[in-house]
Amino acid sequence: MASDAHTRKPVGYVSVQVSGQGGPEGKASPVGPPFHGGVNIVVDPLAKRGGYGTAIIRALFDEPALADVETLGGAVDATNTGSLGMLRKLGVTEYTERKVGTKVFRNFIFPRPPAH
């Protein structure tokens, strides 16, 4: 659950599924780096366009549980203006497209910003 930093009110939900590089095929081995986080996000419809979506995604890189994650990404319906706008604001400019039936999805990926 994502809450407003000042009011503490819940404003959205985000989940991240972390995946990593597997070992040799057919052999049981631990998953290793580089780690990637697949993101699913939803902002309360009443709180949309308040900057929360952008802020929530940026904050993910500061989550201790995601300290090893080097990239975040996901898939977005090509007609999802809200999500594409949010991604533009996050600096995502390139996508790979994938067709599923009549639907077009855009896969996006963005790297952890450099530490400052």
Ligand X SMILES: CC(C)(COP(=O)(O)OP(=O)(O)OC[C@H]1O[C@@H](n2cnc3c(N)ncnc32)[C@H](O)[C@@H]1OP(=O)(O)O)[C@@H](O)C(=O)NCCC(=O)NCCS
Site for ligand X in 27-56 (CB under 6 A): 41-43, 48-54
Choice between 4 and 54, CB closer to ligand X: 54
- Determine, following the binding rule CB under 6 A, whether residue 72 of this chain makes contact with ligand X: no
Q: Give φ, ψ of 23 to 5 degrees.
A: -85, -165
* Cα distance between residue 51 and residue 47, in whole Å: 9
Which residues, including other chains, have CB under 8 Å from residue 9's CB and lie 6 or more apart? 3
Q: How far is the CB of 57 from ligand X (least distance, A)?
A: 8
Query: What is the torsional sign of CA 58, 64, 68, 72?
Result: negative
Which residue number, 19 or 21, has a Cβ lying nearer to ligand X?
Answer: 19
Q: Which residues bind ligand X (CB under 6 A)?
A: 41-43, 48-54, 74, 76, 80-83, 85-86, 89
